[in-house]
Amino acid sequence: MNIRILKPALALLVLPLFSVSGCLWAQDAGFNSRPPNGTEQKPAFAGQTRAPEKKANVAFEVVTVAGGLQTPWGLAFLPDGRMLVTERPGRLRVVGKKGELSEPVAGLPSVDARGQGGLLDVVLDPKYATNNLIYWSYAEPREGGANNTAVARGKFVDGAVPRVENVQVIFHQAPLLRSNLHFGCRLVFSQDGKLFITLGDRSIPEGRMQAQQMDGLLGKIVRLNPDGSVPADNPFVGREGVRPEIWSLGHRNIQSAALHPVTGELWEVEHGTRGGDELNIARKGKDYGWPTIAYGIEYRGGPITGGITAKEGMEQPTYYWDPVIAPSGMTFYTANLFPAWKGSLFIGGLGSTNLVRLTLDGDKVVGEERLLTDLQPKRERIRDVRQGPEGALYVLTDSAEGRILKLVPAQR
């Protein structure tokens, strides 16, 4: 295994900016020094953006648990500590405690792996101990080059050649579009056993505008029963012309989501454009504004939609980034292995190629820290972040030679 030690003192070094795909990303404590893209925009309240740097001064080691994964996307722990890991081309692997990779799990439906599509998230059923059900999200190929985000479930059968049986597709995003972008899609079970599915707007103009339309499922978070049926207490059940699956609307592309360990509410982080990555608490029936209101600017410059950041009846983000971190994967840290991190929110950075740690005070972000900044020269983007059963932090790096990294306390 590959082991390296990061000492807190190293975080004091000021390192240069590094160019990735034509964009510059802060690599160190200077992440708040760059000007925002939305130069004329002002936050709606104090502390909504650019929280002060707040270091926990934790010494940790980074262990490479496994390598050789092709663009891994999602990770879930089996009861015995092994992991299920998705690879975007369409493979699901079982990863052993020593990093050994299984043969691809047999029985999964085909995926559309073009662009940002492919096999995405994976989670275990809350009753996995008795039903062995797993759920996964993916880009579903349809006729004529169209596609959509879908969610399936099946019984996981372990063995030398693992497989899933009795596969059911429990969700199809609608309408279909011909786009290879913005599929979402994180899967999170709530405390009452309902399944949240976070979705994207598919990026193209036709999809973007549907984030505000209630007869479709683009740019939404949906909430389902585990079998795919609609819970009777969803906010729009029985309303004519409105999809009953909808929990919240006005989202752009959500690739980070987790339950708050105390309140049980769903927190999510969604991608903005040039600026405007948003941390939101996804509450029942609320409208989060996209694309009517947004921070940041269009990729090519200029205002987004009407160029406004606030409107009555639309929610403000709890926190936003401009410039962006390009978020994917997140977890609330609740374990005792790192006492100084307890209560922190960790978010993976694709564009920033580092691990973002937020210090929270209730629903407010009061501090920010950037970790794993040494991944940037290697262009290793962070796709997923999970807390392991022993309290370590596990990170997936998104590349053709993707790795599973584990953060553990440094040996003194």
Contacts (Cβ under 8 Å, ≥6 apart) of 309: 38, 41, 42, 44, 293, 294, 295
**Amino acid code (one letter) for 219:** G
In 3D space, the residue among 282, 286, 285, 260 whose CA is nearest the CA of residue 270 turns out to be: 282
Q: How many C-beta atoms surround the C-beta of residue 250 within 10 A?
A: 23
Does the annotation count 182 as an active-site position? yes
Contacts (Cβ under 8 Å, ≥6 apart) of 135: 122, 123, 124, 125, 151, 152, 153, 170, 187, 195, 226
Count Cα atoms within 13 angstroms, Cβ side, for 57.
Answer: 1
Catalytic residue among 182, 251, 260, 271: 182
- Could you list the beta-strand ranges (E) of 162-309: 163-172, 187-189, 195-198, 220-224, 246-249, 254-259, 266-270, 277-281
The percent of the chain in helix, strand and coil, each rounded to the nearest 5, is 10, 40, 50
Place of tokens 């927190």: 267
- Quote the tokens at residue 194: 């309902």
State which H helix or E strand residue 356 sits in.
strand 355-361
Q: In what order do the strands lie in the sheet with 319-321?
A: 254-259, 266-270, 277-281, 319-321
The residues carrying an active-site annotation are 182
